[in-house]
Structure 1
Amino acid sequence: MNLTKAQDNAKILRYRRSSSVSRLCQTGCATCSTLNGCLSCKPRLFFHLEMDGMRQRGTCLSTCPRGHYGTRSPQINTCTKCKEDCASCFSETFCTRCHPGHFLFRGKCENSCPKGLTANTAMRECTDCPVGCELCERRNMCMRCRADLYFLDGECHLTCPSGFEPDVQLMQCIPQVHCEVGEWTEWGPCVRKRGTRAHRKGKETRTRQVLRSPTNIGDPCPHVSETRKCVIKKRLRRNKL
């Protein structure tokens, strides 16, 4: 009887210890300690060591954090740090994003891109950009051209195509705009020119407005004012009463 009672007490003590430890564990931990955090994880979770001051603490995660990749095995699932030049990776040998100064090419981070490819600093990838393009967002879509080329609709041009003209400040091809003018007004009153002896001779003027101003090499505006000679009509005097 004493042996059975001792065994029962030992079971109760182990249960109390495991219960007190489980209350201290983070979510996902199978076993843990107050000093080192998680020691093992529940099924399907990844064991990850993270720095806590000068020591490492274990955590159990459903997915590995950025800069790490997950490895599964029958014994334990672990998070492993990517290579030094990889910002994120799929495995030890396949990067998915590089740190600044490196460019992704076929799963590896290179210092420079192979011949024929452009180093895209925004995406940190080696991309097949259009000719003359320095920065492209995606394949065949340029975002910035070489300094001596003009940008238009995702492409780089040495000279702007028909219907466009170069903006040398923005280094872009902008739509060419031709001048447009409105209709002529009616002729104005006949006005005698100062200093002329012919008291009945004068000039009359009509105008039209500029509806749209031209760009630098668009068709210029025609004259918007016309003057012609006229004869001042003689005023009729009222008969005296």
Structure 2
Amino acid sequence: MQLQLISFVLIILHCMDYTGCQQHSSSRHRPNKQISGVSSGCQQGGCLTCSDYNGCLSCKPRFFMHLERIGMKQIGVCMTSCPPGFYDTRSRERNTCTKCRLECDSCFNKNFCTHCRAGFYLHLGKCQENCPEGLVRSDTERECVPRCPAECEVCVNSETCTRCRPGLYQLSGRCHHVCPEDYEPSDILMECTPQVHCEVGEWSEWSPCSRSGKTCGFKRGQETRTRQLIQSPSPFGNPCPGMSETKECLVKRRKCPDLFGFLNSKTAFSAPSKQGIA
């Protein structure tokens, strides 16, 4: 009787051991399930621990845990930075990506938006449908901006204008009927532009004393000096001074060489004689 009981126990233990080995073998050879958008296993990306069904369960240091919704379930993904619409939260336990408020397109934290969704306007880190008194909605920037001054057509704020109303000239964010000193109006740009004054170079040396193009045969003549233009003036800039000067000069009177007699003698010397032509 005892021998039969011992044999029965050994058979049961053998069967349990065999079943366990089969389960271990089947689980070891079972392929991992692939999840769309998540790398399989923990070998890639920033995953520290993971599961086949839920993706990343924890991340490596400096990575942020972000939950992506796929159908009816959420998959954990480890990222180096949070995607738009989320802000990062750091703690000793783990770093996570937290969704911004519904009206925020992007945010710094849950209480400070940096850009608003359509239909909301940013003011002091808050996205709101209506702007406070004294501010107007800007659909391009999705922000509450100050009303422009009366003389301004487009402005950055109540003190900085970028385009003035017709007939006014813009300068340093202000609109002017008359441009300030050292500035002049530009009807093309509708701005006050700096005046440009004429600049000239140094005087040249005086020319030799001459009269009617000759430098001899007179006692009183003239000599001249000039200078070069360096910078032309703008329409309202200081005009250029004279570019040349002439003054009278005296020379010791001397006769010019008798060029006519010299030419006659040269012609007579070079002309062939009539006797040689015969």
Question: Cα gap change, 1:56/1:165 in structure 2, threshold over 3 Å: closer, same or farther?
Answer: farther
Of 24, 34, 48, the residue aligned with 1:12 is 24
Q: Which position in structure 2 is the counterpart of 1:134? A: 155
Q: Which position in structure 2 is the counterpart of 1:210? A: 229
Q: Which position in structure 2 is the counterpart of 1:41? A: 57
Deviation at 1:231, TM superposition (A): 7.8
Greater Cα radius of gyration, structure 1 or 2:
2
Q: Which position in structure 1 is the counterpart of 2:162? A: 144
The answer as to whether partners of 1:190 and 1:232 remain within 8 angstroms in 2 is: no
Q: Deviations over 1:39-74 (max 9, x none)?
A: 5632672312268xxx987341345311235799x9
Q: Distance in 1 between matches of 2:127 and 2:212?
A: 85
The answer as to whether partners of 2:100 and 2:109 remain within 8 angstroms in 1 is: no
TM-score, normalised to structure 2, is 0.53
Q: Distance in 1 between matches of 2:30 and 2:58?
A: 15
Question: Cα gap change, 1:151/1:11 in structure 2, threshold over 3 Å: closer, same or farther?
Answer: farther
The answer as to whether partners of 1:45 and 1:60 remain within 8 angstroms in 2 is: yes
Higher fraction of strand: 1
Tell me how large the CA RMSD over aligned residues is.
5.0
Q: Which position in structure 2 is the counterpart of 1:61? A: 78
Deviation at 1:224, TM superposition (A): 1.9
Q: Which residues of structure 1 form unaligned runs of 5+?
A: 194-198
The answer as to whether partners of 1:103 and 1:112 remain within 8 angstroms in 2 is: yes
Deviation at 1:221, TM superposition (A): 1.1
Q: Distance in 1 between matches of 2:125 and 2:70?
A: 26
1:169 aligns with 2:188: yes
Q: Which residues of structure 2 form unaligned runs of 5+?
A: 1-12, 262-278
Deviation at 1:218, TM superposition (A): 1.4
The answer as to whether partners of 2:162 and 2:170 remain within 8 angstroms in 1 is: no
Question: Cα gap change, 1:135/1:174 in structure 2, threshold over 3 Å: closer, same or farther?
Answer: same
What is the one-letter code of the residue matched to 1:212? Answer: Q
Count of matched residue pairs: 219
Q: Distance in 2 between matches of 1:112 and 1:190?
A: 85
The answer as to whether partners of 2:164 and 2:175 remain within 8 angstroms in 1 is: no
Percent of residue pairs identical: 29
